[in-house]
Amino acid sequence: MRVLITGAKGQLGTDLLDAFGGRLPAAGSAVFAGDHLVSTHEVLGCDLEDFSLTDANATMEFVTSYRPDLIIHGAAYTAVDRAESEPDLAMAVNRDGTANVVAAARAVDAKVLAISTDYVFDGSGTRPYLPSDEPNPISVYGSTKLAGELACGEETTIVRTSWVAGFHGANIVKTILRLASDGTAMTFVDDQFGCPTLAADLAVALVRLAERPPGGILHATNFGPTTWFELARRVVTTAGFDPDLVTPIATADRLPAPPASRPMYSVLDGDALLAAGVGPLPKWEDSLDRLVRLLVA
Ligand SMILES: NC(=O)c1ccc[n+]([C@@H]2O[C@H](COP(=O)([O-])OP(=O)(O)OC[C@H]3O[C@@H](n4cnc5c(N)ncnc54)[C@H](OP(=O)(O)O)[C@@H]3O)[C@@H](O)[C@H]2O)c1
């Protein structure tokens, strides 16, 4: 297949370029990847420095000149807190940009896998969210990503993921390692529950998913829920720093509160992905350990 990856310079996009190019992405599990990473795809990436997906004409021109069979739409406005003060830009990228990608894909009859987020849910759930559960975002970012989902046609496969960290780009794991190496004490909330996801594992899962018929919503995360506190403490411990650098705090006690509200519970149910023949993704602890070891090596 000819595969186009939007957001190719982002943390997921970089790993997607590797995975669709037949290479194991950094910190990825060779066991999970199995023999799925074969170099039978021709891959091209694009990002904001090439053109903005908010420009419908530029998007159409780029897609119709490359004529992909598959587009993995990973590009997004991802600054969750900043989105609260830039709602128009976030909406332009996450809703209109997605609509432009889908329209261009239709013009060349390409399949689309669009990446979305656990932040489409309000977090009031008490069991893992099913793809069919009613979204109810509580942040601008979540609202714009839901608007992006709604801009996808039925022929688009929507893959929701959560708490993504990878070897490339900026993420919380790198921030924790930097602070810990300075001996800086950190507090992390221990009452928000979700599933961490290693970008490399998600990229490999998407290679597998690309072989399936399109359509529907799927949830793809590493296996098992945790809290931000547990995640932070595992990063510090695995890297060999003092675990007591990280202490727990309740969301209500975070002062000042961050601009954007986060769901208190956004664990995603992965059974639909399993039914599609993909996964389970590795346990979050194993994937996080691999990432941390690579980052500190
Ligand atoms: N990170 C998470 O925890 C998380 C959780 C759930 C779902 N997701 C979803 O997973 C996907 C990948 O996330 P990520 O963490 O890899 O994001 P990322 O590192 O922020 O990468 C997103 C990429 O999209 C590009 N982009 C932004 N606006 C654009 C535009 N108008 N036109 C073209 N490209 C544009 C960005 O370029 P610039 O850097 O130059 O702006 C960036 O390279 C996104 O759809 C995100 O919503 C992420």
Distance, CA of 234 to CA of 47 (rounded, Å):
33
Is 141 considered catalytic here?
A: yes
Distance, CA of 119 to CA of 286 (rounded, Å):
24
Contacts with 188 (C-beta within 8 Å, 6 or more apart), sequence order: 227, 228, 229, 231, 232, 233, 246, 247, 248, 249
Query: Ligand 1 atom closest to Cα of 92?
Result: 31
* pLDDT 10s digits, 223-277: 999 999 999 999 999 999 999 999 999 999 999 999 999 999 999 999 999 999 9
pLDDT of residue 22: 95
pLDDT of residue 232: 98
CA 74 – ligand 1 centroid, Å: 6
Query: Does ligand 1 have an atom closer than 6 angstroms to the CB of 7?
Result: yes
**Mind listing the pLDDT tens digit of every residue in the chain (297 residues)?**
999 999 999 999 999 999 999 999 999 999 999 888 877 899 999 999 999 999 999 999 999 999 999 999 999 999 999 999 999 999 999 999 999 999 999 999 999 999 999 999 999 999 999 999 999 999 999 999 999 999 998 999 999 999 999 999 999 999 999 999 999 999 999 999 999 999 999 999 999 999 898 899 999 999 999 999 999 999 999 999 999 999 999 999 999 999 999 999 999 999 999 999 998 999 999 999 999 999 999
Query: Ligand 1 atom closest to Cα of 141?
Result: 47
Q: Which residue pairs, CB below 8 angstroms and at least 24 apart, start in 282-285?
A: 282/29, 282/31, 282/32, 282/198, 282/201, 282/222, 282/223, 283/222, 283/223, 283/224, 284/195, 284/196, 284/197, 284/198, 284/221, 284/222, 284/223, 284/224, 284/226, 284/231, 285/224, 285/234
Catalytic residue among 77, 119, 129, 141: 141
Query: Does ligand 1 have an atom closer than 6 angstroms to the CB of 54?
Result: yes
Overall residue count recorded for the chain in this entry: 297
CATH of 2-171+196-222+267-282, one of 3.40.50.300, 3.40.50.11810, 3.40.50.720, 3.30.9.10: 3.40.50.720
Query: Does ligand 1 have an atom closer than 6 angstroms to the CB of 12?
Result: yes
Ordered by start, the domain boundaries in the chain are 2-171+196-222+267-282
* pLDDT 10s digits, 94-114: 999 999 999 999 999 999 999
Query: Ligand 1 atom closest to Cα of 75?
Result: 24
pLDDT of residue 127: 98
Whether the Cβ atoms of residue 166 and residue 200 lie closer than 8 Å to each other: yes
Query: Does ligand 1 have an atom closer than 6 angstroms to the CB of 148?
Result: no
Query: Does ligand 1 have an atom closer than 6 angstroms to the CB of 220?
Result: no
Residue to mutate (ligand 1; options 47, 120, 226; most atoms within 8 A of CB): 47
